[in-house]
């Protein structure tokens, strides 16, 4: 199957700082990437849909100024958590799709804000 790489896999940051998470499709071009968030023992919740070359579409309740998404190329999307607070601590996962195929997920990033 296709490979989606997410980096870093784990990050600890201080409250008030910003953290950038990268999502790369290694062997295919992804016009659309998705960012999800998972709380313990909960389902993956879609945060936003990222389209190459255009603004991301955010789900209801997700602050677009706090979770900045950039999809600069067909193989790279980034999620920046700005002014992180402890309640932003979570597991963040990206996915990318080729046309007419299922979504492939990255390994996820465990963010801990202290």
The site for another protein (CB under 8 A) is made up of: 1, 4, 6, 9, 32, 34, 36, 41-46, 49, 91, 93, 95, 97-108, 110
Query: Considering beta carbons, is residue 13 or 103 the nearer one to another protein?
Result: 103
**Other beta carbons within 10 Å of 85:** 11
Q: Starting from the edge strand earliest in sequence, which strands make up the sheet with 76-81, in order?
A: 4-7, 19-25, 76-81, 67-73
Cα 50 from Cα 23, distance rounded (Å): 11
Residue 88 CB, nearest approach to another protein (Å): 18
Cα 3 from Cα 105, distance rounded (Å): 8
Residue 102 CB, nearest approach to another protein (Å): 5
Query: Considering beta carbons, is residue 11 or 82 the nearer one to another protein?
Result: 11
Query: Considering beta carbons, is residue 42 or 73 the nearer one to another protein?
Result: 42
Side-chain-facing half-sphere of 109: CA atoms under 13 Å: 28
Query: Considering beta carbons, is residue 66 or 108 the nearer one to another protein?
Result: 108
Residue 32 CB, nearest approach to another protein (Å): 7
Cα 71 from Cα 79, distance rounded (Å): 9
């Amino acid at each position: 199957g296709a490979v989606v790489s997410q980096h870093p896999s784990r990050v600890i940051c201080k409250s008030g700082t910003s953290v950038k998470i990268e999502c790369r499709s290694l062997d295919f071009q992804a016009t659309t990437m998705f960012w999800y968030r998972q709380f313990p023992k909960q389902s993956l919740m879609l945060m936003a849909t990222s389209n190459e070359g255009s603004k991301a579409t955010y789900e209801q309740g997700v602050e677009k100024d706090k979770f900045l998404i950039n999809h600069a190329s067909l193989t790279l999307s980034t999620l920046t958590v700005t002014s992180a607070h402890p309640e932003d601590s979570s597991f963040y996962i990206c996915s990318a799709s080729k046309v007419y195929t299922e979504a492939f997920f990255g390994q996820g990033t465990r963010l801990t804000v202290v």
